[in-house]
Structure 1
Amino acid sequence: MNAFFKFNERGTNLKQETLAGVTTFLAMAYIMIVNPIVLSDAGMDKGAVFTATGLTIVFGCLLMGILANFPIGVAPSMGLNSFFTYSVVINLGIPWENALTGVFIAAILFLILSLLKIREKIVNAIPQDLKFAVSGGIGFFIALIGLKSAGIIKANESTLVTLGDLTKPNALLAILGFILIVLMMVRGFRGAIFFGIIITTIVGILTGVIDAPKQIIGAVPSMAPTFGVVFDHIPDIFSKDMLTVIFTFLFVAFFDTAGTLIAIASKAGLVNKNNEIPNAGRVLLSDSLASTFGSITGTSTTASFIESTAGIAAGGRTGFTAIVIAILFALSLLFSPLIAVVTSAVTAPALIIVGSLMAAQIKEIRWDELHYAIPAFITIIMMPLTYSVANGVALGLIIYPLTMLAVKKHKDIHPIMYVLFVIFILYFAFV
């Protein structure tokens, strides 16, 4: 194991890697509860999504550990599951079966791009400031969703958004959960998000806001309502709306994963002096295969999880960390009855906290240089304001080459950026 995972080369050992795996698991375990709730808003079966989520995480983490040898947890993206439910299914009115088929097709395209190493080249070509902006913007977007689902903010005809009724039980419970998680996190408590959700759920049950569960451990729910549905709806993709959805899934997932991967690799010190991530091709391939597997079993697009930074902070440096994460998530499949009692009021604090973790990346942006700062700011601000990760990334990458040309730094613009510039102009013009 020492030779395979390169423990000595990366300055780590079996004990340190195991502890890092447990730490990351505790930090991201909430996804087993939150993902089924988010996707159930799209009409999907909670139990089936729970099982699909668990199996997809196990599959993705094993690939990340064995194939890529990276200390990263892979799971359904908190940004993309929200995009799937609220932008595609609810806002566009596309049935979840068709939307999931869109995820599948996008994942296949992902896989092809990864095998051809096109995806890796594009990730490495994106300027560092915009990489940080993508990660930060996704954080603000996720936090907005959490605040909205808890009722802490609400729509307003005059101001678009305003403060909600904080005296309502759900809002109070969400605020309590947020405070608990924050206090645990600032005290350095590992697994703060996971345990915060558990404590908040218990408080909700004791106060009557949430119904008590009838059992804790139960049989693993069947995936029958979601498994293989994508194969029945492939003929439905040949429409303008579906082609738009597939392109958007591909586009959003690409830059969601890229931003998060950059953030995690930077935290672990795995980005080299050339602004490249060694072995990035295998990392992206693992993610692509996990997304394909997940869409078939019944969950939205996967991504490298930002909570992996918790395990990295605990010393995780190799793929063995990911192997430990996979084993623990496999065991967590036995606790499916818990998802029946966890409500959006309980999971909202997790969304807000995860958003804050991702938003922290904006500190790395060169704010004192306007030709970098303005495209980065547009990328960040337009994600929550347009309720779309894709719009934020597209607008930022349209403005970037313009500001760079204005200060005569055309030599610093990667040729791929010009191609993306044209693609994004066409995206807004026709999609």
Structure 2
Amino acid sequence: MMAFAARVTSYFDLAGRGTTLRREVVAGVTTFLAMAYIVAVNPSILAAAGMDVSAVFVATCLAAAFGTLMMGLYANLPIAQAPGMGLNAYFAFSVVPMLGGDWRLALGCVFFSGLLFLAISATRLREDLINAIPASQKQAIAAGIGLFLALIGLSKAGIVTGDPNTLVKLGDLGAMGALLAVLGFLVMCVLAARKVPGAILIVILALTAIAALLGLTEAKSIVSFPPSLAPTFAELDLAGALGIGLVTIIFVFLLVDFLDTAGTLVAVAARAGLIGEDGKLIGMRKAMIADSSATSVGALLGTSTTTSYIESTAGIEAGGRTGITAIVTGLLFLACLFFAPLAAAIPPFATAPALIFVACLMLQGLSQIDWPDMRESVPAAVTLIAIPFTFSIATGIGLGLITYVVLNALAGRVRQIHPALAVLAAAFLLKLALQ
């Protein structure tokens, strides 16, 4: 036993990173509590795409466990993964309707985006692609997706509804679902401000309990054997996803996942002190390989893009510095498989506050944009506005990149436009012209 403990200590470099096994375990539990809400939120979002809720629940747990365990065992980083917020909304509300409701075809696109990500991660192309996207556009894309999530959350809560004259209008705030969603959002914010671990999960479970007491939902049990994965496992349409018309969809999945992963990895690594003397993340290549592999595996299981979670910083704050933190989190996601009845009983208005809260967090990056510089701020604003108002992440990204290239070229900054960015903008322009 002592020999095994010594090997574990040596492999994960506990002493070198200034941590202990106990601290790593606590950090892993903390990270799990911060992001466990995804096992309830992701199935509810993908249900809008016509997917089996129970099977998606299992796929979510397994994809999160696979990606997180790989991040811990292979990359030795305290970073957890799960199906990404924003990317799941793009999948369910943009891609699947665009494909005539064919979620199998959409899963095929996710699978191939993961393979492309894997290929890029193994080469220096990953640095080129990261550097090609202007910092202002990276922040605007994240914030635009946040507004997209907020709109979905407000709709799920009944706070915002459709209107034939004004497009949208205020819903019935007197409805019990809307009232509970508003209350839940406020409580969630207070708990987060007080740095209570698992604030999002606590509120979701509390609202579900209240809904059960009021007869708004019903949970026949809490614990059971995992549901069948059969409705979604290996149901992706790979042949159809190779169609030329789906290149843009695959690319958007790739681009958003790539930027989200790169940003998250750098932010979390900096917080954990895992940035080397050369300014690069220790284990970046392995981390991105783990992330991209989880995306393709997740698609095979039956869920949208799996990506690294910024909530991993919760575990970092608790002292996590090695892959043991991620391993503990991954094992807890496996344990979640036995709580499917509880997840199925969670009503839409209970997960709505989480969507709105996450949206608020994603808007924080807007402060880093140089707003007085019109060459940076205008394209960023176009992206920010276009994503929610066209209800399409792809369209918003495309319009923002096109605006950036055109505006900067006409303003005399041609040399500052990365060649890869010009190619991306041209591709989006062609797609918009042909659709």
| Equivalent position of 2:106 in the other structure | 99
8 Å CA contact 2:17, 2:321 repeated in 1: yes
Q: Please give the secondary structure, in 2, of the residue aligned with 1:235.
A: helix
Q: Is the 8 A contact 1:169 1:209 kept in 2?
A: no
Q: Cα–Cα, structure 1 residues 402 and 161, in superposed 2: closer, same or farther, change >3 Å?
A: same
Quote the Cα distance in structure 1 between the aligned partners of 2:76 and 2:136. 26
Equivalent in 210, 232, 239 of residue 226 of structure 1: 232
Residue number in structure 1 paired with 2:66 = 59
User: d(CA) in 2 for partners of 1:31 and 1:120?
Assistant: 29
Q: What residue is the counterpart of 2:92 in the other structure?
A: 85
- Within-5 A mapping of 1:47-196: 47-90=54-97, 92-196=99-203
Closer/same/farther in 2, CA of residues 21 and 183 from structure 1, 3 Å limit: same
Change in 2 beyond 3 A, CA 1:195/1:282: same
Match of 1:302 in 2: 306
Q: Residues of 1 paired with 2:293 and 2:178: CA distance?
A: 38
Question: Residue type of the partner of 2:229?
Answer: M
Residues 128 and 275, structure 1, Cα contact 8 Å, conserved in 2 = no
Tell me, in whole angstroms, the C-alpha distance in 1 between the residues paired with 2:409 and 2:179: 50
In structure 1, what is the Cα distance between the partners aligned to 2:147 and 2:18? 35
Q: 1:269 to 1:288 in 2, by over 3 A?
A: same
Please state how far the C-alpha of 1:336 moved relative to its aligned partner: 1.1
C-alpha spacing 1:182/1:45, structure 2 compared with 1 (3 Å): same
Give the conservation status (yes or no) of the 8 Å contact 2:50–2:101. no
Conservation of the 8 A alpha-carbon contact between 2:106 and 2:241 = no
Amino acid at match of 1:314: A
In structure 2, what is the Cα distance between the partners aligned to 1:2 and 1:162? 58
CA contact (8 A) 1:124 1:275 kept: no
1:32 is matched with: 39
User: What's the CA shift for 1:409?
Assistant: 4.3
User: For the Cα contact (< 8 Å) 1:176–1:200, is it kept in 2?
Assistant: no
Contact conserved, 1:56 with 1:294, CA < 8 A, in 2? yes
The answer to whether the 8 A contact 2:91-2:106 is kept is yes
- Quote the offset at 1:384 in angstroms: 1.3
Secondary structure, counterpart of 1:221 in structure 2: coil
Q: Distance in 2 between matches of 1:128 and 1:426?
A: 24
What is the alpha-carbon distance in structure 2 between the residues aligned to residue 169 and residue 147 of structure 1? 14
| Contact 1:261-1:304 within 8 A present in 2 as well | yes
Is 2:428 the partner of 1:420? no
Give the corresponding residue for 1:320: 324
State the Cα distance separating 1:405 from its structure 2 match: 4.1
C-alpha distance in structure 1 between counterparts of 2:135 and 2:20, whole Å: 31
Q: Aligned ranges for residues 399-410 of structure 1 at < 5 Å?
A: 399-406=403-410, 408-410=412-414
Identity %: 46
CA contact under 8 A between 1:375 and 1:400: conserved in structure 2? Answer: yes
- Are positions 1:387 and 2:391 aligned together? yes
Q: How does 1:245-394 map to 2 (within 5 A)?
A: 245-261=249-265, 263-265=267-269, 268=272, 277-394=281-398
User: In 1, Cα distance between the equivalents of 2:319 and 2:55?
Assistant: 34
What is the 5 A alignment of 1:191-230? 191-211=198-218, 213-230=219-236
Q: Counterparts of 2:87 and 2:27 in 1: how far apart (Å)?
A: 26
417-426 or 147-156, which deviates more: 417-426
CA distance in 2, matches of 1:140, 1:272: 34
Equivalent position amino acid for 2:143 in 1: G
> Residues 412 and 264 (structure 1 numbering): CA distance in 2 closer, same or farther, change over 3 Å?
farther
* CA spacing shift, 1:344–1:190, aligned 2, 3 Å: same
Moved more, 330-339 or 309-318: 309-318
Give 1:261 deviation, angstroms: 4.3
- Unaligned residue ranges in structure 1 (runs of 5+): none
TM-superposed deviation, 1:95: 1.6
* Alpha carbons 1:100, 1:299 under 8 Å: kept: yes
Pair 1:94–1:311, CA change in 2 (3 A): same
Question: SS of the residue aligned with 1:162?
Answer: strand
* 1:396 shift after superposition: 2.3
Aligned amino acid, residue 228 of structure 2: S
Deviates more, 1:256-265 or 1:315-324: 256-265
Structure 1 contact 367–373 (Cα < 8 Å) conserved: yes
Q: CA deviation at 1:147?
A: 0.8
Q: Is this contact kept in 2: 1:43–1:96, CA < 8 A?
A: yes
Query: CA–CA distance in 1 between the matches of 2:205 and 2:32?
Result: 15
Tell me: CA distance 1:131–1:10, structure 2 relative to 1, closer, same or farther (3 Å). Answer: farther
* Structure 2: distance between partners of 1:214 and 1:154: 31
TM-score (norm: length of structure 2): 0.89
Question: What is the DSSP-based 3-state SS (H/G/I as helix, E as strand, rest coil) of the residue aligned with 1:283?
Answer: helix
Asked if structure 2 preserves the Cα contact closer than 8 Å seen for 1:107 and 1:292, the reply is yes
CA distance in 1, matches of 2:54, 2:293: 23
The aligned amino acid for 1:126 is I
- Matched residues in 1 for 2:111 and 2:84: separation? 15
Output the CA distance in 1 between the equivalents of 2:373 and 2:273: 25
Greater Cα offset, 113-122 or 271-280: 271-280
Structure 1 residue 46, shift from structure 2 partner: 1.5
Instruction: Judge conservation of contact 2:58–2:227 (CA < 8 Å) in 1.
Output: yes
Amino acid at match of 2:222: I
Distance in 1 (CA, whole Å) between partners of 2:284 and 2:31 is: 20
Q: CA deviation at 1:320?
A: 2.4
Post-superposition shift, 1:361? Answer: 1.8
Query: Post-superposition shift, 1:429?
Result: 2.3
